[in-house]
Amino acid sequence: MMGFIWFWLVAVMIVGYVVLDGFDLGVGVLHLFLVRTESERRATLASIGPVWDGNEVWLLAGGGTLYFAFPLLYASAFSGFYLPLMIVLWLLILRGVSLELRNHIDVGVWRALLDGLFGLASALLTIFFGAALANVLRGVPLQADGYFFLPLWTNWQPGPQPGILDWYTVIGGVLALVALTLHGALWLTIKTSGELAARARHIVNPLCLQLATLTVISLGATIFVREDSLDNYFNYPVTFIVPVGVAASLVGIWLFNRKAQPVKAFLSSCLYLFFMLAGACWSLYPTLLPSTTGAERDITLSRAISGPHTLAVGLVWWSFGMALAICYIVFVYSRFRGKVDLGVSGH
């Protein structure tokens, strides 16, 4: 029972990070091509300025929760994914540095460079996060000792000895790029006004169509790569509510955007991300990290979980920490509610 609880607590941390940091990553991608004037650039950055660094804390919290609850999975994944983790770390640094320095360097060429770095780092982060999830769904070449190594790519095929990038993980990366760009566009329709908000709203429905297409393609690709990915759904038919929720949330994004109801459209996007990630977790359960070299080497819930006393005590402290985090989120988002002013750099 405790293993089931902690599996879904870790999943909640991942969903929380993707939903919260996802829109500011999407805003970063849109910063490359949607804005046209300096005031619009300032407004775009001001829409995420008060919250972007707090959103990234959820990534750290998720890693800490993973280390606490499933130390074997943490040790195996963080060693095998060393190369992409270092790339993600540098992208996070570049993104943060470019966002902070832009307001301190009043030189056009440097601002243009920092804007480019911010947008490029945001786009690459969305792709790498999507590819990382696809790697977990596909499986990795686990050895008998529970460790593995992945080169950046091999033959681009998801076989027994895959690379970080293959055709399946590229689909995952592109799906994440489109989903989070859409998420960011919906955020801008809420937080900005005028022509910028109109352009953001205008690109939502085309992105929604692309996302729906990629969702169907990724589902078919997942079933092709992992034939057992639907077993839990057939064993517990009630959980087919997850793909129904995915479809309904996409319809909600489309309809609410057409009706100029940006908050409802944004919440529909949040639901889409929730159902997609929850569905991915459910397709794996109780496996945490599948092996491409044989099911007997899978890292499962029972193999990876910490001791019962540790988990029971940790649950108390986790609940306390999450209560503080939720209070902080409520305070920050309520404090900085409303639209940004295109004429200044703040609200």
pLDDT tens string 131-183 = 999 999 999 999 888 888 888 888 898 888 898 999 999 999 999 999 999 99
Looking at per-residue pLDDT, the higher value among 84 and 216 belongs to 216
The values of phi and psi at residue 288, to 5°, are -100, -40
The values of phi and psi at residue 260, to 5°, are 60, 45
Helix (H) or strand (E) segment spanning residue 288: strand 287-289
Q: Provide the 8-state DSSP code for 240.
A: G
Q: Look-up: residue for tokens 């540095």?
A: 97
Q: Report the CATH fold assignment for 2-335.
A: Formate dehydrogenase/DMSO reductase fold (1.20.1630)
What's the token pair of residue 124? 């690459």
The answer to whether the Cα torsion of 259, 194, 341, 23 is positive or negative is positive
Contact between 314 and 161 (Cβ < 8 Å):
no
What's the token pair of residue 35? 């804005």
Taking each helix axis from N to C end, the angle separating 71-80 and 52-69, rounded to the nearest 10 degrees, works out to 120
**pTM score of the predicted model:** 0.92
Contact between 226 and 139 (Cβ < 8 Å):
yes
What CA–CA distance (Å, rounded) separates 74 from 78? 6
What CA–CA distance (Å, rounded) separates 79 from 147? 7
Averaged pLDDT score across all residues of the chain: 90
Mean pLDDT, range 239-258, rounded to an integer: 96
What is the residue extent of each domain of the chain? Answer: 2-335
Mean pLDDT, range 320-335, rounded to an integer: 89
What CA–CA distance (Å, rounded) separates 274 from 16? 9
The pLDDT assigned to 346 comes to: 42
The pLDDT assigned to 233 comes to: 95
What CA–CA distance (Å, rounded) separates 259 from 154? 47
Contact between 173 and 154 (Cβ < 8 Å):
no
Smallest Cα–Cα separation from 77: which of 130, 133, 14?
A: 133
Please write the tens of the pLDDT for every residue from 174-202.
Answer: 999 999 999 999 999 999 988 999 999 99
Contact between 272 and 250 (Cβ < 8 Å):
yes
Smallest Cα–Cα separation from 200: which of 210, 211, 187?
A: 187
